[in-house]
Chains A and B, each alone.
Chain A
Amino acid sequence: GAGVSQTPSNKVTEKGKYVELRCDPISGHTALYWYRQSLGQGPEFLIYFQGTGAADDSGLPNDRFFAVRPEGSVSTLKIQRTERGDSAVYLCASSSLAGVYTGELFFGEGSRLTVL
């Protein structure tokens, strides 16, 4: 597709369950970011991939959160033992290497996670 694709668009789960959120970036973009956006707030950085490796995972809130990008394209954000406080919109963005330094991030529409 032409843009960043995220699935599912909505996910409702129960406290304690495991969740996977998928991001399909723009073809050829080497940089991929995961952000979390709570209601009325700006996006909060979680993790940044350059290629297959996590270049910066300092934003992951705790060890329940993990993300992979095994082939340098699609990425999956994994949340174990979900808590109600994990409820938010999870945004994925991709960029070319140059775009990383000039703000040219292309965001998906997000995956809205609700933990009951």
Chain B
Amino acid sequence: QQQVKQSPQSLIVQKGGISIINCAYENTAFDYFPWYQQFPGKGPALLIAIRPDVSEKKEGRFTISFNKSAKQFSLHIMDSQPGDSATYFCAAIPRTGNQFYFGTGTSLTVIP
């Protein structure tokens, strides 16, 4: 059973546009929500993360929006650049911290 549902599976955005990736979860035991970026042939790398008591977190061009009541969170990439082309994974961490549950990934392509 997929603990974290992610959409869309793939996304094509024009350079300068906004990329939006959505995730949803059911388990209220999740306590932290990171996003990872993965380039081909590399391991995932932490991009940005948010706690459920915060509705939004921004770091540069990357923003996480969090809706605790709806159990949904999303990643917004502003002014998308070709170098942002990668696969993005949302994840959820339970309070025990022993497992990270990853979404199925979104392949982002930013067209110059």
Give the interface of A toward B (CB within 8 A): 4, 33, 35, 40-45, 48, 55-56, 58-59, 91, 93, 100-110
Within 8 A of A (CB), among B46-73: 46, 49
Evaluate contact between B105 and A105: CB separation under 8 angstroms: no
Q: Chain A residues near B34 (CB, 8 Å)?
A: 102-103
Q: How far is the CA of A55 from the CA of B49 in the complex (A)?
A: 24
Q: Chain A residues near B6 (CB, 8 Å)?
A: 42
Q: Chain A residues near B102 (CB, 8 Å)?
A: 35, 42-44
Q: Chain B residues near A105 (CB, 8 Å)?
A: 44, 46, 100
Shortest Cβ gap from A54 to chain B (Å) = 10
Evaluate contact between A41 and B43: CB separation under 8 angstroms: no
Within 8 A of A (CB), among B91-105: 91, 93, 97-105
Evaluate contact between A103 and B42: CB separation under 8 angstroms: no
Evaluate contact between B32 and A109: CB separation under 8 angstroms: no
Evaluate contact between A103 and B43: CB separation under 8 angstroms: no
Q: How far is the CA of A44 from the CA of B1 in the complex (A)?
A: 12
Q: Chain A residues near B104 (CB, 8 Å)?
A: 40-42
Shortest Cβ gap from A116 to chain B (Å) = 21
Evaluate contact between B100 and A109: CB separation under 8 angstroms: no
Partner of A43, one of B32, B42, B44: B44
B45 on the interface (CB 8 Å rule)? yes
Q: When A41-B105, A45-B100 are in contact, do A101 and B44 touch as well, CB less than 8 Å? A: no
Shortest Cβ gap from A111 to chain B (Å) = 11
Evaluate contact between A100 and B97: CB separation under 8 angstroms: yes
B112 on the interface (CB 8 Å rule)? no
9 tightest A-B contacts by CB? A107-B43, A103-B34, A42-B102, A100-B97, A56-B98, A103-B49, A101-B97, A45-B99, A43-B102
Evaluate contact between A110 and B43: CB separation under 8 angstroms: yes
Evaluate contact between B93 and A101: CB separation under 8 angstroms: yes
Shortest Cβ gap from A69 to chain B (Å) = 15
Q: Chain B residues near A45 (CB, 8 Å)?
A: 99-101
Shortest Cβ gap from A50 to chain B (Å) = 8
